[in-house]
């Protein structure tokens, strides 16, 4: 069958509608997508029914029939059962009374929230409220559909998130160049012959801003067909160990390397912009000219990469028939994160690999309306500024690094009330001890979270969401970066606990209370208002397949099966997307929630296809390669070369295959074995610093110090040390029994809240200057 776009659609038959196949008496197999990382792997979950009717998970394995992952599963995915059963996972709300948390029912918790938020608003106004949005929301259907309403209801500019300790530079660069923050090209992994990876370790973390189950298997398939892998990283990571070449760059200098690659390609006459892309690019000559000063010789000392290596990497890219350059968190959490992300696109373009098969391509998300060209000035930042340092707003939020000072600094607009949603910024944001102290100074704090962790221990009310197995799932955000155009919806595997509201109901109720509605207001009131607004927008949009339809009729179609919450919104997005059924007006078998329910292993709408110029959303309609903000930052980059060259010892992060930020450290099977929170030190540095393997060392930065056991290894370049992130579970008020037994140290005690990429407000978490001494 052909889709509306002419792409092959891969549908795995199923014997029953929905997510379940029945096995033997008393057991069934439920199919769902793993929500723990960006890979989106399919799971086959065996569920047993006890004599009293209670259901429990007995086994989790990879779904061999999943159209995207084909049975692949990392160690984390199989632990959803342990996460669900974890005795430390909160199941009832907590309210703090006289400094002690007590369990209460939901009605009492909502009354406490209404009194706390209402009191802050009455005393200080809405400008005194703030929200912090954690990373799990990107993996969460309810977070994607209902969180915006909550943030709007709070009525404050003080919004912070994990984005500014993660991927924000990649999105800012895409917004400047292509016109949209999710218009991010991804490597066409399954058809490329040559892959250059900077600052990413997919053998440990799969893809990020590149949704690709079994990323390692896709790399191995590329190499099996004669392809080549080059890894640029200060560490010989697990991915670098599998590479044909490891380029041991100095941290924070990827932008210099990429600019030098552009210079080599231009000087050698190897610029070959794809023919269909060239008419739609603005400023190529200006960018090449701006990069001309970054010769391999000019950047060699700062990057630690020899000129001949830089030239070979550039020429190999040009010589490959199909090649892609991909960069991730090691490139974004640096002082030139946005410029580095932009230069990755520049290199892909000038080497002939942007928007071509096997190169760097744009997905066509199944649950997303077609892009629209911007009007006015296009993407801008600075629609507001923080009080203390006047840091600009970026994509509707402020840098997470500014949160502590905005709480503690007296004056008009000082943050007095905070809402956190599935985040642990005390471990994940810079100068952690400063933020930890600041949170204790708030007048009221409410957290939506499944754990009492280093951050939520400061809350006055903690509202637990259901476990991952009790929620429906669709990767609404992450499938916008997928290496194939796929769609997979998962109904809840297990029922909600008695009295437990769904996650969307928690977020909607919080929004209603923030608006000043009574705590008894039904969250369906907000849900109905949001879906009505979405439908009204769709029928007005001339590009929508519902244009001109009667909104009431569309709402009736959506309500036909009694759906509410995220599923109703998802159905609308699928129906009006590029492959959508459009309530019967689209192609036969077009995308809808019913289609996905009928095909629990997913639907594959085909490989990526060239999308320029259609995907470009800039006001000019062109790929604005020479955006003045980005060109100007090359001046700052060039002036930073002496400082980058002279740095003695710097710190970088790392991640282990069995770790997923801080919140997976309470699962015994994921943390057992040898300690992994160690300080990696090269033998040469160990010798000059008097460090020995297994002994302890004190690491000091401008803002803090930690002690950690030393692990001497040649898997890191000289002049660089490494600590993993997400550890430091040693506070006595934290209810994480397993994590506390293996507490480790918090690397963000060392990260500097004043060190930012100025274009995106993203914190510098890699390349932190440190001193190390034996203890």
DSSP string, 407-457: HHS-STT---EEEEES--HHHHSSSHHHHHHHHTT-SEEEEE-SS--TTGG
CATH of 647-774 given 2.40.50.140, 3.40.50.720, 2.40.40.20, 3.30.590.10: 2.40.40.20
Contact status, residue 128 vs residue 138, Cβ threshold 8 Å = no
Which residue matches tokens 């009790």? 470
Tokens standing for residue 134: 């954690």
- Confidence label for 2 from pLDDT (cuts 50, 70 and 90): very low
Determine the Cα–Cα distance for residues 765 and 252; give it in Å rounded to an integer: 10
CA 660 to chain centre: 12
Containing 56, the helix (H) or strand (E) segment is: strand 55-62
**Average pLDDT in the chain:** 94
Residue 605 pLDDT > 60, yes or no? yes
User: Which residues, 6 or more positions from 436, have their beta carbon under 8 angstroms from its beta carbon?
Assistant: 426, 454, 458
CATH of 91-162+400-481+489-598 given 3.10.580.10, 3.30.565.10, 2.40.10.10, 3.40.50.740: 3.40.50.740
For 157, 385, 414, 434, the CA distances from 441, given in Å and listed in that order, are: 20, 22, 11, 11
| Domain segments of the chain as ranges | 22-85, 91-162+400-481+489-598, 188-365+617-630, 647-774
* Span 47-95, pLDDT tens digits: 999 999 999 999 999 999 999 999 999 988 899 999 999 999 999 999 9
pTM of the model: 0.96
Determine the Cα–Cα distance for residues 658 and 665; give it in Å rounded to an integer: 9
Please name the CATH architecture into which domain 188-365+617-630 falls.
3-Layer(aba) Sandwich (3.40)
Angle among Cα 148, 149, 151 to the nearest 5 degrees reads 65
Q: In CATH terms, are 22-85 and 647-774 the same topology?
A: no
State yes or no: cis peptide before 354, omega within 30 of 0: no
Contact status, residue 486 vs residue 602, Cβ threshold 8 Å = yes
Determine the Cα–Cα distance for residues 556 and 567; give it in Å rounded to an integer: 15
Closest to 459 (Cα-Cα) out of 128, 83, 117, 89: 117
Taken in order 215, 221, 222, 223, is the CA torsion positive or negative?
positive
Determine the Cα–Cα distance for residues 94 and 336; give it in Å rounded to an integer: 42
The CATH class that applies to domain 22-85 reads alpha beta
Q: What is the pLDDT of residue 7?
A: 37
* Span 538-590, pLDDT tens digits: 999 998 999 999 999 999 999 988 899 999 999 999 999 999 999 998 888 89
* Span 353-410, pLDDT tens digits: 999 999 999 999 999 988 877 777 889 999 999 999 999 999 999 999 999 999 999 9
């Amino acid at each position: 069958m052909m889709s509306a776009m002419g792409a092959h659609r891969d549908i795995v038959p199923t014997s029953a509608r929905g997510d379940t196949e029945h096995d033997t008496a008393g057991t069934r197999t439920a199919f769902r997508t793993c929500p723990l990382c960006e890979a989106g792997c399919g799971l086959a979950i065996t569920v047993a029914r006890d004599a009293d009717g209670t259901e429990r998970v007995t086994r989790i394995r990879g779904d061999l029939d999943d159209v995207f992952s084909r049975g692949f599963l990392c160690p984390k995915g199989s632990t959803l059962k342990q996460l669900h059963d974890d005795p430390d996972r909160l199941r009832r709300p907590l309210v703090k009374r006289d400094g002690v948390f007590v369990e209460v029912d939901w009605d009492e918790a909502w009354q406490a929230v209404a009194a706390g938020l209402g009191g802050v608003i009455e005393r200080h106004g809405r400008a005194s409220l703030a929200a912090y949005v954690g990373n799990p929301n990107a993996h969460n259907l309810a977070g994607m559909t209902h969180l915006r309403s909550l943030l709007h209801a709070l009525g404050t500019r003080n919004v912070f998130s994990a984005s500014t300790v993660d991927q924000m530079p990649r999105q800012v660069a895409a917004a400047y160049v292509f016109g949209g923050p999710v218009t991010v090209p991804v490597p066409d992994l399954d058809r490329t012959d040559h892959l250059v990876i900077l600052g990413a370790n997919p053998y440990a973390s799969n893809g990020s801003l590149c949704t690709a189950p079994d990323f390692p298997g896709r790399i191995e398939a590329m190499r099996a067909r004669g392809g080549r892998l080059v890894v640029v990283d200060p560490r010989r990571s697990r991915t670098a160990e599998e590479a044909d070449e490891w380029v041991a760059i100095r941290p924070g200098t990827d932008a210099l390397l990429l600019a030098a690659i552009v210079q080599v390609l231009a000087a050698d006459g190897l610029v070959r912009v794809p023919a269909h892309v060239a008419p739609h690019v603005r400023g190529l000559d200006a960018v090449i000219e701006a990069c001309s000063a970054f010769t391999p010789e000019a950047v060699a000392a700062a990057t630690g990469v020899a000129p001949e290596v830089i030239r070979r990497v550039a020429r190999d890219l040009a010589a490959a028939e199909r090649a892609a350059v991909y960069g991730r968190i090691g490139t974004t959490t640096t002082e030139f994160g946005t410029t580095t992300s932009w230069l990755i696109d520049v290199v892909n373009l000038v080497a002939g690999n942007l928007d071509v098969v096997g190169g760097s391509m744009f997905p066509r998300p199944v649950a997303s309306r077609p892009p629209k060209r911007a009007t006015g000035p296009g993407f801008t930042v600075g629609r507001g500024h923080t009080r203390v340092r006047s840091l600009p707003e970026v994509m509707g939020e402020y840098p997470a690094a500014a949160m502590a000072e905005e709480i503690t600094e007296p004056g008009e607009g000082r943050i007095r009330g905070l809402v956190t949603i599935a985040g642990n910024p005390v471990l994940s944001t810079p100068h952690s001890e400063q933020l930890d102290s600041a949170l204790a100074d708030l007048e009221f704090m409410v957290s939506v979270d499944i754990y009492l962790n280093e951050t939520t221990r400061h809350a006055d009310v903690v509202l637990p969401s259901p476990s991952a197995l009790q929620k429906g799932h669709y990767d609404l955000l992450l499938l916008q970066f997928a290496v194939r155009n796929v769609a997979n919806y998962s109904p809840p595997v297990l029922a909600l606990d008695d009295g437990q509201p769904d996650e969307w109901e928690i977020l909607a109720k919080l929004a209603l209370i923030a608006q000043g509605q009574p705590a008894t207001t039904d969250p369906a009131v907000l849900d109905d208002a949001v879906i009505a607004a979405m439908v009204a927008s769709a029928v007005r949009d001339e590009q929508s397949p519902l244009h001109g339809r009667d909104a009431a009729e569309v709402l009736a179609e959506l309500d036909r099966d009694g759906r509410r919450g995220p599923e109703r919104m998802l159905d609308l997005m699928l129906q009006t997307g590029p492959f959508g059924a459009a309530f019967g007006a689209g192609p036969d078998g077009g995308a809808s929630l019913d289609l996905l329910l009928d095909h629990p292993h997913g639907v594959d709408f085909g490989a990526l296809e060239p999308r320029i110029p259609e995907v470009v959303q800039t006001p000019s309609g062109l790929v604005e390669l020479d955006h003045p903000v980005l060109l100007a930052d090359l001046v700052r980059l060039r002036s930073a070369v002496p400082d980058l060259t002279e740095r003695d010892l710097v710190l970088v992060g790392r991640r282990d295959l069995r770790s997923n930020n801080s919140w997976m450290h309470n699962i015994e099977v994921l943390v057992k074995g040898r300690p992994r929170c160690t300080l990696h030190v090269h033998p040469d540095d160990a010798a000059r610093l008097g460090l020995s393997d297994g002994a302890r060392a004190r690491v000091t930065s401008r803002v803090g110090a930690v002690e950690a056991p030393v692990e001497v290894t040649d898997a890191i370049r000289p002049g660089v040390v490494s600590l993993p992130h997400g550890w430091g579970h040693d506070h006595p008020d934290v209810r994480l029994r397993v994590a506390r037994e293996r507490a480790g140290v918090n690397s963000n005690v060392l990260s500097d809240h004043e060190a930012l990429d100025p274009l995106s407000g993203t914190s510098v978490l890699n390349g932190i200057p440190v001193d190390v001494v034996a203890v």
